[in-house]
Amino acid sequence: MNVLIVEDDMLQRKSLKKMIQQIDKGINIYESADKDEALEITNIYSIDVFYVDICLNSSSGVDFAIEVRKIPKYEFSFIIFLTTHVEYLTKAFKEVHCYDYILKPYDMEDVVNMTKHFKSHIEKTNNKSEAKRYVIIEVKSGVNVKIYVDETIFIEVYLRKCMIHTVNGVFKVNNLPLSKILKIINCKNIVQCHKSFAVNVNYIKKIENVDSKLSEIYFENYDENAPLGYKFKNAIMEQFQ
């Protein structure tokens, strides 16, 4: 689950983050102190839950949420407003159709219970629709491509170029590290197998040893192979079997 906290008070932001982390260390938490940075994060990553301070120093949390709602994939996403000013909530509910609100100072029980509810719902939804998930990747300036997660065979990064091998062809992206593309895709079936490679375990046909430290991964109905480093072999084998 990917969570974005938009809060300009650093202490309150860290406090909320700490509460959420107690639920599950695997929750990815992104942070922002203003609207512009938050929109940038929203466009790069697939955010599941937004915790938004209704009054930001440089802008309005409501204005940010309105911009988020204009993005098709966030039309029905969970948006929770953080506020000490309950008088602003009527506008927030009418204009943004937010899910709920949390009053400051934060009550840990409220935060934990609400986040657990979101996590449970998102896990159930992902289990049903993993095959339909996609990400939008800017392959070059002004050119964006929709890449379906389940159609990704493997990913390689070479000389600052990221090559995403899919059943519909290979897409090249400049200056996209492997760690970042894995966060963007956020799929349990796409696993790092080498310092510069990650593979979709659902497409693996065969794994063959090359020497004591390296193996070769072969894919179903695909001519190119990927290396498997010994540091990653156990994790890959566990899912392959």
> Residue 129: what residue type?
S
Same-domain pairing of 19 and 137: no
Summarize pLDDT for 113-138 with one digit per residue, the tens.
Answer: 999 999 888 877 766 555 568 888 88
CA 119 vs CA 74, 114, 199: distances in Å: 16, 9, 26
* Structure confidence at residue 172 (pLDDT): 94
CATH code: domain of residue 220? 2.40.50.1020
What pLDDT, on the 0 to 100 scale, is given for residue 127?
Answer: 64
Q: Which of residues 130, 146, 166 is at a domain's end?
A: 130
Higher confidence at residue 42 or residue 94?
42
Q: What is the CATH number of the domain that holds 117?
A: 3.40.50.2300
Question: Which one of 130, 153, 171 terminates a domain?
Answer: 130
Please give the tally of structural domains in the chain: 2
Whether 122 and 219 map to the same domain: the answer is: no
Q: Are residues 92 and 6 in the same domain?
A: yes
β strands within 20-133, DSSP E: 28-32, 49-53, 78-83, 100-103
Q: Which helix (H) or strand (E) holds 191?
A: strand 190-194
Whether 112 and 139 map to the same domain: the answer is: no
pTM higher than the cut 0.85: no
Domain match, 137 and 123 both: no
Looking at residue 84, its pLDDT comes to: 83
Tell me, yes or no, whether 21 and 60 share the same domain. Answer: yes
Q: 163 is in which domain, residue-wise?
A: 133-240
Is the domain of 72 the same as that of 137?
A: no
Please tell me the distance from the alpha carbon of residue 211 to that of residue 132, in angstroms, as a whole number: 38
Indicate whether 122 and 137 sit together in one domain. no
Quote the strand ranges of 99-151, DSSP E. 100-103, 134-140, 143-148
226 with 173, same domain: the answer is: yes
Q: Are residues 210 and 149 in the same domain?
A: yes
- 186-241: per-residue pLDDT in tens? 888 999 999 999 999 999 999 999 998 999 999 998 999 999 999 999 999 988 87
Q: Within this chain, do residues 120 and 143 fall inside the same structural domain, yes or no?
A: no
Is 122 found in the same domain as 84? Answer: yes
